Chain A
Amino acid sequence: MSFSLAHALTGLFWLGALLLLGGLARRASLWQQGHSASVSWLGLLAMPKRYFVDIHHVVAREPAVARAHVAAAGGGVAILLLSALNYGLMLYQGWLDVLLVLMAAVMLLGARMMQARRLQAPPRLSQGRWQVLPARLRLFALGSLLAAGLLFAGPQMGMAGQLIAVAALLMLALGGAELALGIGLGWPMKHAVAGLLHLAFHPRAERFAGKSSDLKPLNLAAGELGVAKVEDFAWNRLLSFDACVQCGKCEAACPAYAAGQPLNPKKLIQDMVAAQSRGTDPAYAGNPHPGREAAVVVKPGEDIVGSVLAAETLWSCTTCRACVENCPMLIEHVDTVVNLRRHVTLSRGEVPGKGSEALANLRNTDTVGGYPLAVRYHWAIDLDLPVLQPGDQTEWLLLAGEGAFDMRYQRALRALVKVLKAAGVKVAVLGAAERDCGDVARRLGDEAGFQRLAKANIATLAQYRFDRIVTPDPHVFHCLANEYPAFGGQFEVWHHSKLLEHLLARRAIPLKADATPLPPLTFHDPCYLGRYNDGFNAPRNVLKGIGIKVVDMQRSGRDARCCGWGGGAAFTDIPGQRRIPDMRMDDIRETGTGRVAVACPNCTAMLEGVVGERADVIELAELVAERLA
């Protein structure tokens, strides 16, 4: 009897392996719709590190789920490996059966924890097949446990043993189907295979070597104009969509989703899956884009935007990277949003709201607001700020950015210059030679406009000699520091929070000596300083350095909510139920401090634009200037 059960297990194992391979081949044919990408096969070797270190960093933020997954997935993989040895290779060793029983117990425990979580599933989790997956995995674990136990216990079980054997085989077949067929039919266990391959062939592999948040340039000369159809994605990008586990952490973090704008990042990725699988996968069973139907009609051969995805969904994104930060499968949502936007902007010219006006202003005046370049430094007319002429030399080059045209932000800029002068920093500006950095153009999909501005700025900056650039605008900072190198612009760029931190640490800023304690305030992290560049500590250290206690909001630092400006969202202005800055102001009110420090001209404008009772919005440099001796 035991002899025949062992052979049945061998048969079942190889049947499952064949089905899995067949399914993988089918799925790979879908990925092959995409164009080629330069990937390193060494990624396969790096996969374990990426799995156990990089993914762990994200997953460990939810420890209970992480533990459940370690047990279920670890147990499952161990079962598969042991079965491959013992039954696949027909070793039929008793001690391997003992190990199998142990691992099956671990997996059973993990699946049990997963199932318990599903009883009170948070709304961000998808239902459908995902809801029943833990039960199926339990069945598989139990089947393994019974089969291995039976084989170890030997033939003395008699009639009961035969019944148990049949039951175990049934359980293994039912539960194992989930594993074997998942990748081929687009069932939940697709994530295990696609997820591991995604780690190996990640479209942004450099993120495993350090921070990587820059957008990649299009080769315009080669006719690249963004993604119109599934075929315009790289194959490993299509693979990355299949890695999604529909956990909805992106959905929970997305400011546009919370505001009721028609964007759910999880659904966006699933829309891409529907487009590449031509609707053959099981129907999506999660929350839709707010205010939209969940069902999509896939029309093969048609553009993605306008068929499976509405343009408003695309334009709701603030590119705040909260989704990317939270994704346990390391999917890069923002890359996909911008790639799709590039097609809509570059090919169709359909940028909604004031977006097209902003792009026209950038083309015609090199500023977002359509201002004359000569007035950018009018606020500094009495500050004796040197304006560099070609060939001139300075230690620090200050780039004020678009905030220089905003009368509110000019106060902050004046405060910054005052502080830098008090600290004896040699700083100069470009005057009328400074153009927009191209951030808005690039995030609105106008890659051609961005590249024109980037190249022009790099050529301009080459005419001057300076040690470092300092800017109070995180968008300018991110563009120059991370996105200009692709065009040959290598600059050392500091955000002003870092410079102020540096000066305070060296006691270079003369501060008032009086001991009157300052009231605490809260700090709003700019996305392009924080999540994009890990600049979480510098602004907090500055506030600490001038003796102000920071009461952090519940969503701060890595989890900070966007102000709603980024990615040109303030220009496209897609309507929702609420406005994102209003929600952020609620977060600020919750701290009860009545004051919020900001470190970005755009956050300043968005938060000051909140109507009704609101907290005071004060720029970091203004707070330091207040404390000057």
Chain B
Amino acid sequence: MKIAVLVSPAVHPVSGRPCAGEADLAALALAQRLPGELQVWYAGAADDAALADYLARGAGTIHSLNLSPDSDVLSALGSALQGVDMVLCGARSGGGDGSGLLPYQLAEQLGAALLPDVLDLSKSDRQWRAVQALPKGVRRTLQASLPLVASVNPRAATAPGWSYARLQQGKIRRKAATGAALAPVVLEPSRRARALVAASKVSGHARMQGAIAGGDAKAAGVVVKQGDSVEKAQVVLDYLRQHQLVDF
């Protein structure tokens, strides 16, 4: 089985220096646990120093697709990853616009299933079973068969500690690539969700009263106490037909 892990430099929140992204590190660590031939890929314009953290934390060799900073990595990655059975990447990058869209686009391009926000991956029969992280600690099991793309949650696994020796032994193999120009990113303020407003301010009790208490109220319902069950059902059916809620 061929596994590819996609990594990209994150921006350190304090110093702004390039460093390893948490989610990408988790993807690397998760992939190291799986049986198969592991390849680490990067696409973009980062220099060696920006990728150093991944080498120091056990990436071994990084295959880099050199692209200009303003080009889309999707097509270059898509063609490089043809024939790969499983693609793992962080749920979202720690740098750039961090939209988290790449795994979806990549899965579409490769014709592979997408397992989003994965905490764990294991094989069951011919399928791959993933534990997905949902908000508030909820977990869900997903299943898919190869080929698949999984975006990995930052808490999925911990990569080996930072080691100078691994950094020295690590290699970055660079290859020129081309990609379509990126659509310019338009930033706009996010809209605040509007609070829901009730259609009427009458209390629930009053509305129930209006619905069941016969008499003068316009919306008043009918309380049927007479007759057998068929006759009572006929009244309900008539009501539903009158309001076009059933069409028979």
- A residues near B (Cβ < 8 Å) are 220, 225, 345-351, 356, 359-360, 363-366, 370-373, 446-448
Contact = CB atoms under 8 A, between A and B. Distances in A.
A364 B164 contact: no
14 contacts: A345-B163, A345-B164, A346-B164, A348-B163, A349-B57, A349-B160, A349-B161, A349-B162, A350-B161, A360-B162, A364-B15, A365-B14, A370-B14, A372-B15
Give the residue among B17, B57, B160, B163 with the most A Cβ atoms within 10 A. Answer: B163
Nearest to A373: B15
A371 B15 CA distance: 8
Given A364-B17, A371-B14, A356 B162 contact: yes
Given A349-B56, A349-B57, A364 B14 contact: yes
Contacts of A359: 162
B180 interface: no
Contacts of B162: 349, 356, 359-360, 363
A370 B14 CA distance: 7
A308 to B, nearest CB: 22
B21 to A, nearest CB: 13
Given A351-B161, A359-B162, A364 B12 contact: yes
A188 to B, nearest CB: 39
B15 A366 contact: yes
A364 B162 CA distance: 12
Contacts of A356: 161-162
Interface string B1-23: 00000000000101101010000
Nearest to B52: A363
Given A364-B17, A364-B19, A347 B12 contact: no
Interface of B: 12, 14-15, 17, 19, 56-57, 160-166
A240 B179 CA distance: 62
Give the residue among B56, B160, B164 with the most A Cβ atoms within 10 A. Answer: B164
Contacts of A371: 14
B14 A372 contact: yes
A348 B164 CA distance: 8
Give the residue among A220, A350, A360, A371 with the most B Cβ atoms within 10 A. Answer: A360
A500 to B, nearest CB: 34
B162 to A, nearest CB: 5
Given A363-B162, A365-B12, 4 more contacts: A345-B163, A348-B163, A364-B15, A446-B164
A287 B19 CA distance: 45
Give the residue among A345, A349, A372, A448 with the most B Cβ atoms within 10 A. Answer: A349
Given A349-B56, A349-B57, A365 B15 contact: yes
A63 B161 CA distance: 49
A360 B15 CA distance: 12
Nearest to A448: B164
B15 A348 contact: no
B50 to A, nearest CB: 12
A360 B12 CA distance: 11
A552 to B, nearest CB: 42
Contacts of A350: 161
Complex A-B, nearest 4 residue pairs according to Cβ-Cβ distance, in ascending order: A349-B161, A349-B163, A347-B165, A346-B164
Nearest to B167: A448
B234 to A, nearest CB: 75
B11 to A, nearest CB: 10
A336 to B, nearest CB: 20
Contacts of B163: 345-349
B132 to A, nearest CB: 28
A360 B163 CA distance: 11
Contacts of B15: 364-366, 372-373
Contacts of A351: 161
Contacts of B165: 225, 346-347
A363 B166 CA distance: 16
A347 B14 CA distance: 27
B12 A349 contact: no
Nearest to B53: A363
Contacts of A363: 19, 162
A203 B56 CA distance: 32
B198 to A, nearest CB: 49
Nearest to B161: A349
A29 to B, nearest CB: 30
A359 B57 CA distance: 13
Contacts of A370: 14
Contacts of B57: 349
Contacts of B19: 363-364
Nearest to A445: B164
B18 to A, nearest CB: 9
A372 B164 CA distance: 24
Contacts of A346: 163-165
A274 to B, nearest CB: 26
A520 B56 CA distance: 53
A450 to B, nearest CB: 11
Contacts of A349: 56-57, 160-164, 166
Contacts of A348: 161, 163
A225 B162 CA distance: 14
Nearest to A449: B164
B37 to A, nearest CB: 24
Contacts of B17: 364-365
A346 B57 CA distance: 11
Contacts of A372: 14-15
Nearest to B166: A349
A348 to B, nearest CB: 6
A360 B166 CA distance: 15
Nearest to B56: A349
A572 to B, nearest CB: 13
Nearest to B165: A347
B157 to A, nearest CB: 15
A448 B163 CA distance: 10
A351 B57 CA distance: 13
A225 B164 contact: yes
Nearest to A364: B12
Contacts of A366: 15
A351 B162 CA distance: 9
A280 B56 CA distance: 39
Give the residue among A225, A346, A359, A447 with the most B Cβ atoms within 10 A. Answer: A346
Contacts of B12: 364-365
Contacts of B14: 364-365, 370-372
Nearest to B58: A349
A496 B161 CA distance: 37
A224 to B, nearest CB: 11
A225 B17 CA distance: 26
Nearest to A352: B161
B88 to A, nearest CB: 21
Give the residue among B56, B57, B165 with the most A Cβ atoms within 10 A. Answer: B165
A416 B85 CA distance: 64
Nearest to A375: B14
A370 B17 CA distance: 12
A347 B162 CA distance: 9
A366 B57 CA distance: 19
A372 B160 CA distance: 26
A394 B124 CA distance: 71
